[in-house]
Amino acid sequence: MKINIEELTEEELVELNHKIVQRLRFLESMHSHAEMLKFSIGDRVLFDPPGRCRQIGTLVKYNKKSVTIITEAGQHWNVAPHHISKVKSIDSAGKNNKVINFNSNKR
């Protein structure tokens, strides 16, 4: 489908722009929702916020474009789902509790 924008009026261009922006927002929302479905409430996840050390916490809520995570330190973070990864705890004889990256979704 080709649209010759040279023939459109200013009003038609503005309307087209609004439709394009609306469609792009819808597609972004669909992608975020699909990413969210890879995780469940209660999953242990990790993420690397800019300028801070790696954070580990529990996914507690789905939002429109992000998920809410409560870290081990009790902080609440809203993070885009493509920035988080599932973690898996390994308990060796009850002494060491290591966290490893279980399912990386980083881009």
Domains in the chain: boundaries: 7-103
How many angstroms separate the most distant Cα atoms in the chain? 73
Q: pTM of whole model > 0.75?
A: no
List, for residues 58-95, the tens digit of each pLDDT value: 999 999 889 999 999 999 999 999 999 999 766 544 44
Alpha-carbon 91 to chain mean position = 28
Report residue 81: phi and psi, to 5°. Answer: -60, -25
List, for residues 3-28, the tens digit of each pLDDT value: 889 999 999 999 999 999 999 999 98
Q: Domain 7-103 is in which class?
A: mainly beta
